[in-house]
């Protein structure tokens, strides 16, 4: 079961990341920012897909709604954590850029 699930989760996520990156680069966005966004969205999409498949499988096999909701809750918390980490990393990167610019001005 797990091998099929990993294939079902990984393949669409990688295709989505490729498409997202291609569209962003076509618009003329920064390559570094595009890569970061693509990795973040791919990771979040993979977590959501895997959680949905796992929750539906738990409910179907064990008729356990509590376990299904727990899986979805953990996935939601993980997706939120990725968003917060990304925001913190962007803020830190912006501060580093500002500090370098201030050093260059001196």
Q: What is the DSSP string of 67-100?
A: HHHHHHHHHHHHHHHHHHHHHHHHHHHHHHHHHH
| pLDDT at residue number 59 | 85
The token pair that represents 68 in the structure block: 């299904």
Calpha distance 73→87 (Å, rounded): 21
Whole-Å CA distances, 101 to 11, 31, 33, 96, 97:
41, 21, 19, 9, 6
pLDDT digit string, tens, across residues 8-57? 666 666 666 667 666 666 666 676 777 787 788 888 888 888 888 888 88
Q: How far apart are CA 68 and CA 84, in angstroms?
A: 25
Burial code of 11-22, b = ≥16 C-beta within 10 A, e = fewer? Answer: eebeebbeebbe
pTM of the model: 0.70
């Amino acid at each position: 079961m797990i091998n099929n699930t990993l294939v079902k989760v990984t393949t669409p996520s990688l295709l989505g990341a490729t498409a997202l990156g291609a569209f962003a680069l076509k618009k003329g966005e920064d390559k570094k920012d595009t890569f970061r966004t693509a990795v973040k969205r791919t990771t979040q999409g993979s977590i959501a897909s895997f959680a949905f498949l796992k929750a539906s499988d738990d409910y179907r096999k064990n008729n356990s709604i509590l376990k299904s909701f727990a899986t979805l809750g953990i996935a939601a918390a993980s997706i939120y954590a990725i968003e917060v980490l990304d925001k913190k990393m962007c803020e830190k990167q912006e501060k580093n850029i500002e500090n370098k610019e201030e050093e260059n001005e001196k």
